[in-house]
Structure 1
C-alpha cells in the first residue's frame, strides 16, 4: 500500500502544488488587504480566519463574510480567489480521474488486493499457474471438493473470466507472468498453507521457469508441470518436479494399456476420473489394420502403441514423414475419400483422427464412416467447447487434451498413495479387474468415487487415543465401514490401499489391524469421506465404531462413566478374592445377571 500511496503522490504532484499555491496566495492577500470593523476602525484579518474563509469559499460552500463585512477591495480579491480556486480544483479533479485510468496504478492496486487475499488464506491451497482449458476443468473439480486454490494467468481477459466463474470461494487471481519468481512469492508460494504448485500454462519455457522458481523458493513443495517435449520434461524433473505430465507419452501409454489390459485400464480410468462424473463404459480398441489421419506427436504416440500390439498402420499426413516407410505413409490431408481408400480404410478395423484442428478431424471422421460404417473410431478433440460437435459424431473414444492433463494433475494432487495404488493395479490380472469393476460401479451408484487418505499419526487425535492411550479393542480397517454419524448404518467405502512400515497392500482385508504410523487410502461417496473426517477429530466417534456403544460426551459424563467402570472392576476383584477364600459362598453371593 505504501507503493500505491507514493505513486499517487507522484502522479498528483502538479495539481497538489498548484492548489497549495492558490490557497497560499489567496490567504496572504486576504491578510494583507485592510478591512473595517463594526466601529469603522481599520483592521487586518488573521491567518486562521483567512484560511477558514478561503476554505469554504473556494469549495463553493459559502457562510458569509467574517468577522465583519468586507470592503470593496477585499471582495474584489475574494472574487479573483474564487476563479483561481475553481480552476485549480478543476485541474486537480481531472488529474484524479486521469489517475484512476492509469494502467500502472490499476496494476498496483490489483497486486495489493491480490497479495492481501493470499495472505489471509487460512486453509491449504494450490497455486495454479495458467488458466486455460485444463485449469478450468481442474478448478471446477477442486471447488467441488472444497479445496482452495490461487490462480496466476498472464492474459487479463482470462483473469476476468475467473470473476464470472461459479466458484464457491472467493478465488484470489492475478494477471501476471508466473515465470517471474517475484510473482510467485506474491501468489503465496512461501505461504505455510500452500501445499502444491501447478505449472500448466501453454508455454513450455514458462512452465520450466516456474519449476525452477518453485525448486529454489520451496524445494519440498509438491510441483506438477506440463510439458510436450521430452527434453524439457527431463529438465523439469532435474529441478525437483514431483510430477511431469507429457501429454503425448500419456496418451501413448493409455492407448497401449487399452489394447493389452482393457479391464485393468478401465479400473485405472475410473479412479483417475473426476469425482461425481458418471462412469461411462468405453469399448476396447480392436487389433487389426488401423488408419491414422494426422501424424503429429499425438498420432506418433498412438502409432507406436498399435505397432507393439501387433496392428498394421497406415498414416496420412500433409507433411512428409521421413521416419515412415513409403508403404505406410500417404501425403494428404486425409479428409477426402481418395486418400482414405488408398490407406485401406475399407478393410481397416480402426481410425484415429489427430489433426491439430477439430474441423479436419470431424471431416475425416465423417468421410471415413461413409466408406466403412463399422470402423472403431478414436477422435482427438483439441478445444473443449467443441464437445457438442463430437457428441453428435459419437466416436468410440474421444481424447480431449485438457481432460487428459487435468486427470493426470488430479491424480498427482489427490494423494501420493493413489500413484502407488495405480502401479499395483496395473500389475493385476484381467480377472482381478473384472471382479473389482462391479464393486466400483455399486460403490457410488454408477458415479466416480471420491478418494481420500487417513493417516494414523500424531496429527490424528483419535488415532493417538485408540492406539496409544486406550488400545483395546484393537482398531481394524473394518471399523471404518461403520457410520459414526448415522448410528447403525454402513458406509459406502472401500479400503483401496494399506501402507504399513513402507509395505503396500492392495484391497486389504477388513480384519487388518491398524497400527500407529499406518496410512489407508479409501474410495467411496462424499458422506463416507465426511464421516471419516469426523472420526479423526472426535474420540467419542472412534470409540463408537470400535465398540458399537455410544460413549458419554462431556467431561462430567465421562468422569461418571469412568467412576462406574472402576466400581465394576473393584467388585470383580473382590469376587475373585472371595472365590479364592470360599468358592461356595462366592458363588451363592454372585448376582444372577452377572452369572448369566
Structure 2
C-alpha cells in the first residue's frame, strides 16, 4: 500500500558480489549457448545432418551421456566431435559451478530482495523521504511510523541501514547527495523530504538536488551550525531546524512554563489520547471552500474544533470564529477523536 500505511519492511542492501556472480552466470550461459550453436551448425555442414539430428548430436556430446551417434561420423566429424567435447565439457562444468554458487551462497535471495525493494519504491506516492538515520533521523522515522505515513529512508552506513531495517522501516543504502539516489526513492512523487545527514555541507547538496528534482516538495533540513541555516534556506529548504536551539528552548520552557510544555507535548505526541491534533488543507473541490466556519457546520457534521487557520501567504489566525472565511489553500488545525478527524478529512 502506497498511501496511508507505510511499507514497514525493507530488504538489506545487496552486496556488489551478487551482481558480479550474475554477470559470470550470464557469460557462462552465453558461452554454452554459443557452443551448442557452433556444434549444431558444424554437424549440419560437415556431416549433412538435418537440424534436429545435428542439435541432438551436439547436446549428447556436450553432456557426455554416451548415447549412440544418430549417424556414422566421418573422420572430419570425429575430429569435430572431439573439439565439441573439449569445449563443451569445460563450459558445462563452469556453468554448473556458477549456478551452484549462485544458489547455495544466497545470491539468488539477494537479487530477489533487490527486485522486491525496487517494486516497493516504484509504488510509493505522496510519501516522505528521510535522508540520514542518525540520532535525529531515528526519531523522525519513529514519528513517521507512529503517524502511519508512508516513508523511505536513505542511509550511507551499513550498520545504520541494518538497524533501520531491523526496526521495520523501508530503507536502502545510498548517497542522498546523488540525483539518481533521490530519484530511486521517488523524489518526483514525494510529498516531503527530511534532510538529516551527518554534515551541513552534505545537507546543502541534498537540499539543492531535491529542490531541482521536485520544485514543489516540502523540505525540512537539520542544521548543525547556526551559520549554515541561511545557506540551507538559500539552497531551497522550506524549514531549517537546529536541534541544539530546539533543545535549548524546550529546556527553558520546561522550567518557565512547565504545564504548557507538558500539555503541548501530551497533545502532539501522546499515543493513547482520545483527542488529537490534525492539520488539513482546503482543496479547490472541498465543500468548505468559500464558506465560513459557521456555514460549514463543522461541529455538527464532523465534531471537530478548528483551533487555527493558516493562509497560503503564511498568515495565522490563531483564534478563528464562526465568521472566519475558509478559502482554497487554507491550512486548518483541528482537534477531535479519530472518527471525527476522519469525517473532517472527507469534508476537506
Instruction: Report if TM-score (shorter chain) is over 0.5.
Output: yes
Q: Is the 8 A contact 1:225 1:236 kept in 2?
A: yes
**Structure 2: how far apart are the matches of 1:202 and 1:500?**
34
The Cα of 1:98 is off from its aligned counterpart by: 6.6
Q: Which sits farther off after the overlay, 234-243 or 518-527?
A: 518-527
**Structure 1: how far apart are the matches of 2:101 and 2:201?**
37
Which position in structure 2 is the counterpart of 1:476? 297
The Cα of 1:100 is off from its aligned counterpart by: 8.7
The TM-score normalised by the length of structure 2 is 0.73
Q: 2:226 aligns with which of 196, 208, 230?
A: 230
Which position in structure 1 is the counterpart of 2:316? 504
Secondary structure in 2 matching 1:201: coil
The Cα of 1:210 is off from its aligned counterpart by: 0.9
Which position in structure 2 is the counterpart of 1:270? 266
Which position in structure 1 is the counterpart of 2:167? 165
Residues 51, 175 of structure 1: alpha-carbon distance in 2 compared, 3 angstrom cutoff? same
The Cα of 1:177 is off from its aligned counterpart by: 0.8
**Structure 2: how far apart are the matches of 1:62 and 1:7?**
35
Which position in structure 1 is the counterpart of 2:32? 19
Offset from partner CA, 1:250-278 (integer Å, 9 cap, x none): 1222222233333333343334x43416x
* 1:463 and 2:291 matched: no
* 1:119 and 2:122 matched: yes
What do you get for the CA RMSD once the two structures are aligned? 4.2
**Structure 2: how far apart are the matches of 1:176 and 1:113?**
17
The Cα of 1:76 is off from its aligned counterpart by: 8.8
Q: 1:240 aligns with which of 236, 245, 249?
A: 236
Q: Is the 8 A contact 1:129 1:197 kept in 2?
A: yes
* 1:197 and 2:186 matched: no
Residues 231, 505 of structure 1: alpha-carbon distance in 2 compared, 3 angstrom cutoff? closer
Secondary structure in 1 matching 2:57: helix
Where do residues 97-496 of structure 1 align in structure 2 (5 Å cutoff)?
A: 114-121=117-124, 123-166=125-168, 171=170, 173-191=171-189, 194-271=190-267, 273-276=268-271, 444=273, 449-460=275-286, 462-463=287-288, 467=291, 474-482=295-303, 493-496=304-307
Q: Is the 8 A contact 2:308 2:316 kept in 1?
A: yes
**Structure 1: how far apart are the matches of 2:182 and 2:281?**
30
Q: Is the 8 A contact 1:476 1:514 kept in 2?
A: no
**Structure 2: how far apart are the matches of 1:25 and 1:520?**
73
Residues 207, 456 of structure 1: alpha-carbon distance in 2 compared, 3 angstrom cutoff? closer
Aligned length in residues: 324
Residues 527, 246 of structure 1: alpha-carbon distance in 2 compared, 3 angstrom cutoff? same
Residues 32, 254 of structure 1: alpha-carbon distance in 2 compared, 3 angstrom cutoff? closer
Q: Is the 8 A contact 2:130 2:193 kept in 1?
A: yes
Which position in structure 2 is the counterpart of 1:51? 55
Where do residues 532-543 of structure 1 align in structure 2 (5 Å cutoff)?
A: 532-536=344-348
Offset from partner CA, 1:482-532 (integer Å, 9 cap, x none): 4xxxxxxxxxx53221357976333545x4465444543112332222222
Q: Is the 8 A contact 1:477 1:514 kept in 2?
A: no
**Structure 2: how far apart are the matches of 1:205 and 1:33?**
69
The Cα of 1:48 is off from its aligned counterpart by: 4.3
**Structure 2: how far apart are the matches of 1:247 and 1:199?**
13
Q: 1:524 aligns with which of 326, 336, 345?
A: 336
Question: Structure 2: which 5+ runs fail to align?
Answer: 1-18
Offset from partner CA, 1:440-494 (integer Å, 9 cap, x none): xxxx35xxx532224444142x336x95xxx9x9323433554xxxxxxxxxx53
The Cα of 1:245 is off from its aligned counterpart by: 1.6
**Structure 2: how far apart are the matches of 1:219 and 1:25?**
56
**Structure 2: how far apart are the matches of 1:13 and 1:504?**
62
Offset from partner CA, 1:561-585 (integer Å, 9 cap, x none): xxxxxxxxxxxxxxxxxxxxxxxxx
**Structure 2: how far apart are the matches of 1:508 and 1:20?**
76
Secondary structure in 2 matching 1:474: helix
The Cα of 1:149 is off from its aligned counterpart by: 0.8
Q: Which has the larger radius of gyration?
A: 1
Residues 247, 161 of structure 1: alpha-carbon distance in 2 compared, 3 angstrom cutoff? closer
**Structure 2: how far apart are the matches of 1:535 and 1:81?**
75
**Structure 1: how far apart are the matches of 2:65 and 2:340?**
68
Which position in structure 2 is the counterpart of 1:88? 91
Compare relative contact order (CA 8 Å, sep 6+) and give the higher one, 1 or 2.
Answer: 2
